Structure formats: C-alpha cells, structure tokens
Structure 1
Amino acid sequence: MKFALKTLLVATLSLSSTMTLAHNQGHESALQQAVQSSERNSDRDQYRHPLATLAFFGFEPTMTVVEIAPGGGWYSEILAPALKAQGTYYAAHFPADSSVGYYQRSLAGFKTKIANDARFSDVKLTEFAPSTHLAIAPAGSADMVLTFRNVHNWYMSKDKDAASNAFKSFYTALKPGGTLGVVEHRLPEDRADEMQQSSGYMKQSVVIALAKQAGFEFVADSDINANPLDTADHPKGVWTLPPSLRLGEQDAAKYKAIGESDRMTLKFKKPL
C-alpha cells in the first residue's frame, strides 16, 4: 500500500510539473510570438528590449493589462496580440475631445489600427490625460499598468499635479497586488533638478517618490534598458537622440552611434 501511494504521489507530482511547464511555456510562447512577429517593426528592439522588459515586469498573457498613452502603438503591437487569446488589453490613449492637433492625429491613427488590423480587434480603448481623464480602466480591474517613456511629459506639464494624478489613476485601476511597470529616460542623480523641466530626462529617485506618494511599493529596478553611452546632456534634450534626431543631419552619425536614451526600468506593486 505504501509503495502504491508513493508511486501515485510521484506520478501526480510529475504530471503537475509537466502541466506547469507546459503552462509556462504557453505563456512564454504567446509573448515570444508577438515579439518575433514579422508584422511589427522590430528595429528598435535593440534599445527597448521588449521581451526582457515585459518578463521583468512579470507579464503573462492571461492578465488584464493597461498601457498608458500608447501613441502610435509600438508596444501595442506586442501587447495586443499577446493578450488577445486569454487576456484583456486596455489602451489608455489621448482623449477624443483634446484640442491638441498631435493628440488628435495620434488617436486617429490608433483607431485605424483597431478598425483594420486583426491583431487589434479586441483592444479596449479608453482615454487618459493626467489633468482631466483618469478612468483608464474599471477600478480594481487591472493586473498590470505599463507606461513607457511618459513620466517626463506629465512632470513638464503646466499642471503641477499632472504627474501625481497619473500615478494615482494607475493605483486606482490596479487590483491589490497588481504591478506598475515604468520605463523612463534617466537623468543622473547629481544633475540639477531643473533639468527635468525641459530635457525629457527624469531622476530615478523622483519617479520612485511619485509612485510611493500614490501608495505603491517599490519592488525592483533593472538595467535592461540602460545605455552607458548616453550622457543625458544634449542640445535638444532626449529628443536629440534617435528616433527623434531633432538636430536633423547635424551630428546625426554621432547621435545614432549613441542610440536611444539611457532608461530606468522600475517595478512597483499595489499593496495587498
């Protein structure tokens, strides 16, 4: 009897391990397939490391995920297909009633993707502006909120509460225990605080403080998206570098050799 029970236990544990492995491989496969798809532009992957970044945040394709200000949809082309089968993807885009021409054009382009691209057919489109539109998803519904290279825009806003309002809206949308993932251009801590008002770079300490003020717990940081070649002191701020290249052909080879900006990659948790 003991032998039979032991054999049954070993078989059960083996089956459980096999199922867990298959489950995890299925999750990895969904994300890997999205990242490796020939339908998306992967030219910037060498700077943005999407697979490693999302793995660091703990992304799984069964989650409810909100992406903040997806713009033209660079990360959306990964998130929407990866979440389509088993998860839910909210794209918290610019408000439809915005008077800013760039916002209107960006939103129109994203809506075209949703209408015409099968990868985007299940996207849930919401609105986000840190001073006026904060209902990015139903309260307490999201497993993960992601924001890529956006914090500086809120910090530089005329509305001095914009950045704190943004983090509070992320906190509201997340379930207890949910994850906030932040990627942002990084300003060295020994630089003047005033540089954050115009350069597009942020101090990591300031971003962490904003998240903590909203109630988040800091979990970990990563140098996945670090770039030691970036000195963060360029004539046109972060926009001097690719992909913007605000100086045009002036020193273009120099800035292309640097690549995209040095970036912090931060993981936070909404407490249980």
Structure 2
Amino acid sequence: MTPSLFRLFIHQLVAIVLLSPCYTVGASDNTPISQARLQQVLASPDRLDSDRGRDSDRQPARVLTFSDLAAAETVLDLYAGGGWYSEIMARAIGPDGVVYAHNDALTWRFGQAELIRRTADARLPNVIRIDKVPLASIDMPDQSVDLAFMAINYHDLFFTHRVRNGKRQVMRDGVVDHRAALANIRRMLKPRGRLIISDHLAHPGSGYVAANDLHRIDPAIVRHQLEKAGFELEAEGYFLRNPNDDLNLLVFDPAIRGKTSRFIYKFVKQ
C-alpha cells in the first residue's frame, strides 16, 4: 500500500467513527458555504501570491458557490494538477472536512512539482494526495464522497498526443475509458452526491479532435456521457463564458490563455 493510500485508509476509518450514530461531530450539515465566506477564504493573507493572481480569471468563489460546497464535506478533486482548487476547498470546508487531491500519471507529470510544494510539511493537513492513479482505479469506499470536482480537465480523458517542434509526442497509449471512470466516480459518491465539471469550450461537433489538439471539448459530449453514466444535470452556469474567445485557438495560446470561454455543469448522482 502506498503512503497516500494508507493515509486515505486511515482518514476513512476515522470518518466512519466520527459519522457513526454516537459520534456526529464533524459531519456536514449540507448547508452551502456562502459566497461571502468564500471571499474571506480567498482573502486569507497566507495564500500564495501566485494563487491569488489566478482568482480574477477562474472566479473560484462563484464556482464553489455553484458547487454547493459545504463545511466538513468529503471532496474528491479529480485531476487536481498542482492543487490550486484543492487548497481553496480545503481551507473552506475546515478541519472536519477532507479534500482528496487526485492525479493520474499524466496529470501528475504536469502538476507534481507544484502539488508537492503545496502539501509539504503538512501545510494543508486536510488534503490527502492520491498520486498517479487512474480514474477508474481510485479505491475509496462506496458512497463516501459528497462532492467530486473536475476543473478544466475533462478533455484530458481524450488527450493522447501533442506536436512539439514538428514531432509527435505520445502522452497516453490511448484515451481514458470514460465509462469505467464515470462508473467509479458514481460508485464513490453519496446518494445525490454532486459532480462538478468545468472545461474550455469547443465548437459544437468538434469531437475528440478539439479535446486533443486544442484542450477544449464540446459540452454536448460531456453532458451525453454523464447522463449515460447515471448522472442527472441539475444546473448549468454561464458566468465563465467569454464571447471574445476564439474557439479555434489552443487554450495555451498567449492571446487567450487564462481567459477562455468555459462551461460549468453540476450533475447529481441518480
């Protein structure tokens, strides 16, 4: 058992005790954290300056209000990368909650340095890392997660290669099995648990080509796959849209980086 999974096991064991009928301290009452409280979290003086600099583009207070994030919840941050959202959510839910910051081998490759720095020396005691584990292999207990969260990364399920200096670089051997991944996420969510997905907007009908080449995805693909997997669309947000985004551009193009038009969905487990 890896150290990350051992810590996960211990936390889940503690959670079982705390959530038993005789021990209710720390259980979430499911009251969403207010946007005003989230703004206070974002204004914390000990946040990293590099993190604070992304707030205006990413609008985390609005995103997490949309997500109905509540104190003391169990959150699974999928494809967490460097853990930018993991830290904000961990601060917001408080010491009685926990955020599992997940990465598979590919997203770990790009986010590991930042995430290791962020979590060093128990800086975020209620963040537990799940490193280099495929989505379909995350081994958390059934119905243990209140909120699963995936920010601007669903397209990475279909990201297999990139071209650099005219050379094709293979990033994955093939696309991620989204059916197996979604089935596992659904298994871990509590009844009516939420799954939040936001991502860079692609042209309708652009298929997996945009997902691989532009790091964008047609939201119709996401909705279709999630509904087929047993999730119900509860809400869609439009506050991350940017009408000036050129959907033909790679999201890392300097002309649009950090300012892409994004969709956000809130699904619940049926």
TM-score norm. by structure 2 comes to 0.74
Q: 1:131 to 1:51 in 2, by over 3 A?
A: closer
1:58 aligns with 2:68: yes
Alpha-carbon offset, residue 73 of structure 1 = 1.7
Map of 1:172 onto structure 2: 187
* CA distance in structure 2 between the aligned counterparts of 1:79 and 1:180, rounded to whole angstroms: 14
Percent identity over paired residues: 25
- Determine whether 1:224 maps to 2:239: yes
* Distance in 1, Cα, partners of 2:65 & 2:217: 24
Counterpart residue number, 1:139:
142
Decide whether aligned partners of structure 1 residues 128 and 139 sit closer, same or farther in structure 2, where only a CA change above 3 A counts. Answer: farther
Separation in 2, partners of 1:201, 1:60:
29
CA RMSD of aligned residues (A): 2.7
Question: Is the 2:158–2:208 Cα contact (8 Å) retained in structure 1?
Answer: no
Identify the residue that residue 196 of structure 1 maps to in structure 2.
211
Alignment length (residue pairs) = 226
In 2, distance between residues paired with 1:113 and 1:59?
A: 21
Provide the residue aligned with 1:148 in structure 2: 151
* Greater radius of gyration (CA): 1
What is the CA–CA distance in structure 1 between the aligned matches of 2:81 and 2:229, rounded to whole Å?
A: 24
> Given the alignment of the two structures, is residue 73 of structure 1 paired with residue 86 of structure 2, yes or no?
no
Instruction: State whether residues 97 and 126 of structure 2, in contact with CA within 8 Å, keep that contact through their aligned partners in structure 1.
Output: no
Q: Does 2:95 correspond to 1:85?
A: yes
CA 171–132 in structure 1, closer or farther in 2 if over 3 Å, else same: closer
Instruction: Give the secondary structure class of the aligned counterpart of 2:64.
Output: helix
Unaligned runs of 5+ in 1: 1-22, 246-254
Secondary structure, counterpart of 2:179 in structure 1: helix
2:225 is the alignment partner of 1:210:
yes
Give the Å deviation of 1:126: 2.0
Residue number among 103, 112, 123 corresponding to 1:107 in the alignment: 112
Q: Which moved more, 1:44-53 or 1:164-173?
A: 164-173
- Alignment correspondent of 1:46: 56
Q: Partners in 2 of 1:260 and 1:164 — Cα distance?
A: 30
Instruction: Say whether the 8 Å CA contact 1:219–1:269 is kept in structure 2.
Output: yes
Encode CA deviations 1:104-144: one digit per residue, 9 max, x unaligned. 573354234323253x1221222464476332x32210010
Which has more helix, going by share of residues?
A: 1
Q: CA deviation at 1:203?
A: 0.5
Tell me the TM-score normalised to structure 1 length. Answer: 0.73
**Cα deviation 1:171-200 (Å, max 9, x = unaligned):** 121001100001101112155663333211
- CA distances 1:11-39 after superposition (whole Å, capped 9, x unpaired): xxxxxxxxxxxx96976565333222231
Match of 2:44, as an amino acid?
S
1:123 aligns with 127
